[in-house]
Amino acid sequence: MGLTIGVDIGGTKIAAGVVDEEGQILSMFKVPTPPTAEGIVDAIATAVSGASEGHRIEAVGIGAAGYVDDKRATVLFAPNINWRHEPLKDKVEQRVGLPVVVENDANAAAWGEYRFGAGQGHDDVICITLGTGLGGGIIIGNKLRRGRFGVAAEFGHIRVVPDGLLCGCGSQGCWEQYASGRALVRYAKQRANATPSSATILLSLGDGTVDGIEGKHISAAARQGDAVAIDSFRELARWAGAGLADLASLFDPSAFIVGGGVSDEGELVLDPIRKSFRRWLIGGEWRPHAQVLAAQLGGKAGLVGAADLARQG
């Protein structure tokens, strides 16, 4: 099979990209994300037809944030879009006249990294995506593992603190409340509140108040040596690494790949994640250790992965 299209449905933009067998994006077409479920189907069709211009396309893969059924056809539930048992595959196939595969966006990103990014050469890879929340993907024995009902690898909602912080999912103490971009901002605000004298750079980047602290300020301040910003990354890394040690007990992969916006900080966050991972790994001294690697494809992983999954059919 030759060229396929991967579609990434973001909060503000829907991107369609033509992807070749080597994972290279040959052309891209973006449209704004409409507010309604029906509008999104129209927008996907527009983006696919825009990207297809001048190419012979054989299939389309769509990465969607939500629970996708085992047939990779229906979005059972999406937290940010009003999709409840949305037959996305059928609707988009009718519009674009090509075979369509729908995949959970974190699964698609994991597959992209496994095939063309940091996971190349590994047979058993676990990916976590540290974005606003925490997403995951499981590749064991060179296969994407989706579970019986298609909804495996929701690592972000493993309960790591009994009766801990309330999560958007309705549960308490979920991992993503402690290891995610949103958690990072909370750590920075708490610390800046307690010791503003250690957060002078961080506070100078926002509007000067603790409430004005945003994720981008924490990254910039950490690079300039701000103590609170660096400590906030360490706290996030402590939780992320401890969780990876638990996932090693479950899956025993040869590599963990850490992606998402937070991982753009590279060693600033990866080094403390590795330290925490080693600290909490059971039998750590006496067993082989999985590598903890930074994702390589950035924000393109989901699009490239969805296109490749469509190619595999």
Tell me which residues touch Zn ion (CB under 5 A).
Answer: 157, 167, 169, 171, 174
Write down the least CB distance from residue 104 to Zn ion, Å.
Answer: 16
Q: Which is nearer to Zn ion, 169 or 220 (CB)?
A: 169
Write down the least CB distance from residue 115 to Zn ion, Å.
Answer: 29
Q: Which is nearer to Zn ion, 118 or 174 (CB)?
A: 174
CB 127 within 8 A of CB 109: yes
Residue keyed to tokens 């009003």: 82
Q: Which is nearer to Zn ion, 49 or 171 (CB)?
A: 171
- H-helix or E-strand spanning residue 218: helix 215-223
Q: Which is nearer to Zn ion, 203 or 247 (CB)?
A: 247
Tell me the torsion sign for CA atoms 55, 46, 135, 218.
positive
Q: Which is nearer to Zn ion, 152 or 167 (CB)?
A: 167
Write down the least CB distance from residue 141 to Zn ion, Å.
Answer: 28
Question: Cα angle at 282 between 144 and 287, to 5 degrees?
Answer: 80
Write down the least CB distance from residue 257 to Zn ion, Å.
Answer: 22
How far apart CA 40 and CA 17 sit, in angstroms, is 16
Distances (CA, A) of 137 to 48, 169, 272, 293: 25, 19, 22, 14
Write down the least CB distance from residue 260 to Zn ion, Å.
Answer: 16
How far apart CA 236 and CA 186 sit, in angstroms, is 10
- The tokens of 83 are what? 């999709």
Write down the least CB distance from residue 269 to Zn ion, Å.
Answer: 22
How far apart CA 307 and CA 313 sit, in angstroms, is 10
Which residues does residue 143 pair with via DSSP β-bridges, in sequence order?
140
Residue 225, burial from CB neighbour count under 10 angstroms (0-12, 13-18, 19+) = exposed
First to last CA, the chain: 10
Q: Which is nearer to Zn ion, 80 or 312 (CB)?
A: 80
Read off the DSSP letter of residue 166: B
Q: Which is nearer to Zn ion, 140 or 167 (CB)?
A: 167
Write down the least CB distance from residue 194 to Zn ion, Å.
Answer: 27
Packing angle, helices 181-194 and 215-223, rounded to 10: 70
